[in-house]
């Protein structure tokens, strides 16, 4: 079962004002440290796909020259825009409405593509990873933190059982494993680590030279 862009828009525009609070709880329990891990591996010209409310934006280090954050939703990046203004990040951050499945960005324009907790929501995640590959320069890196099927059999079974309901309510595919789609898009996976309860992935994947 796949979601659609229309469904994603409805869900995320509705949830946007509660998103940071809900995400903080999830992160504390399941994904602690993921954002600092991802942003600490970004450098040069960064494109962050499905930037949401911009939780990663204040965390990028000095190696990052510029960040283009794109998102399909209206309300999520509106909150990211407020964050950029509040934290005076406008010098190097640009936010755009765009579709990660068919990006309005030129080939090879990014040194790093970042994705945190997005592949679960993008209707066609394979298309989004093909686009990430296209916009990376050869040798550029995709850095991601995502949830996916747990390495623990019991938890994985529970995730599969509740997934249809969660997709319907929250446009969230719980058990997408990013590794197959990354390889099919042409990436070489350089690093994979699993997080608490085996539910999350931290991945660095390279567009070969
Ligand atoms: C769970 S949120 C993650 C937001 C952010 N990456 C974070 O780490 O908090 C998923 C985001 O994916 C966005 N999204 C879903 N499909 C998309 C698409 N096709 N193109 C761009 N953004 C998309 C949603 O609007 C939402 O902001």
The CATH fold assigned to 5-206 is: Rossmann fold (3.40.50)
CA distance 188 to 196: 25
In short, whether 122's Cβ falls inside 6 Å of ligand 1 is yes
CA distance 129 to 183: 9
Give residue-wise pLDDT tens across range 158-167. Answer: 999 999 999 9
In short, whether 48's Cβ falls inside 6 Å of ligand 1 is no
Would you call 82 helix, strand, or coil by DSSP? helix
Give residue-wise pLDDT tens across range 38-69. Answer: 999 999 999 999 999 999 999 999 999 999 99
Distance 26 CA to ligand 1 centre (A): 16
In short, whether 131's Cβ falls inside 6 Å of ligand 1 is no
């Amino acid at each position: 079962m796949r979601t659609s862009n229309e469904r994603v828009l409805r869900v995320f525009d509705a949830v946007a004002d509660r998103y940071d609070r809900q995400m903080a709880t999830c992160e504390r329990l399941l994904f602690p440290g993921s954002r600092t891990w991802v942003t600490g591996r970004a450098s040069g010209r960064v494109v962050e796909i499905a930037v949401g409310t911009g939780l990663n934006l204040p965390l990028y280090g000095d190696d990052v020259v510029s960040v283009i954050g794109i998102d399909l939703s209206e309300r999520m990046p509106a909150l990211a825009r407020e964050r950029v203004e509040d934290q005076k990040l406008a010098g190097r951050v640009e936010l755009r409405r765009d579709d990660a499945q068919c990006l309005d960005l030129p080939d090879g324009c990014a040194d790093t593509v970042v994705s945190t907790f997005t592949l679960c929501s993008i209707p066609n995640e394979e298309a989004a990873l093909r686009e990430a590959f296209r916009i990376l320069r050869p040798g550029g890196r995709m850095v991601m933190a995502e949830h996916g099927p747990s390495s623990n059999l019991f938890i994985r079974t529970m995730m599969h059982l509740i997934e249809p309901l969660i997709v319907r309510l929250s446009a969230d595919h719980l058990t997408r494993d990013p590794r197959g789609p990354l390889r099919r898009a042409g990436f070489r996976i350089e690093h994979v680590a699993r997080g608490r309860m085996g539910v999350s992935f931290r991945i660095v994947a390279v567009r070969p030279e």
